Homo-oligomer: A and B are copies of this chain.
């Protein structure tokens, strides 16, 4: 099989297309012949050496969709030949509230989906939603389960609520917008790019503010006519503080990342006096993953695709993600 292998941390030249032996399924495992994979920021951070526990060579990639081509001992025979998407959360553990010590994400340390084949536990197989293309199905796993857990399981967004998604454009933020909208919320966004705000509006956002402009919380409150009930944030840093400032009393902040780092001066008084809830969230349980797929199935929701690259251009796909110009998921086609 062909696989895109990270041979050493560094620039995109280290992503090399190799011919490797076909994979086989051990007990309880399945081999999935991948039709499409998708990128996540995690892949770029690993490639650049900015992640814990890196080992090389490694086949990157957490997101994949394809057909089950081989099943190991003990796996239900009905999986053979089925079209599937893969849950990339491996070894979550017994506690729904948080992943356990054995938790890891497909694509490190286990070889991932930037390849024509991947081996995964059969428990991580899920039927592919039939209304989605292979590219769309591959766009779901990591971003959609992360967005689902943040918006539904943690923030429990309700119909009619006002939701702010900060930093629209990436896979999770875009999916959070779609899911919150699907739940009946009124969704607003922030971005450093007016073009991305317009794209978000085309997807159903009620409006947005450019966070590079001064005093965006004030502009946002004027735009909405009220304060948000919920903020979905992965920026951290100063955005985190502004989110606490902009929230309605009793509001909720679901935090699933900190791309801009720590918060330099957190006003605890704001948290208790406004009775805010800050809800940390990362990835999702097997139940979150199944519920996310069911939401796509029942509502015929489709993820947003930014661009599709052939596997051999994985490096170019990384460059696009690093530039930060994408809106939606960046896909690799086998």
Contacts and interface: CB of A to CB of B under 8 A. Distances in A.
A236 B272 CA distance: 10
A268 B262 contact: yes
Instruction: Count identical subunits in the complex.
Output: 2
A277 B279 CA distance: 5
A266 B272 contact: no
B277 A278 contact: yes
Interface in A127-153: none
Interface in A89-140: 95, 97-100
A278 B274 CA distance: 12
Interface residues of A, number: 37
Contact of A98 (B269, B275, B282): B275
B236 A275 contact: no
A282 B278 contact: no
A257 B272 contact: yes
Interface string A258-300: 1001111111111111111111111000000000000000000
A262 B272 contact: no
Interface of A: 95, 97-100, 236-237, 240, 248-250, 255-258, 261-282
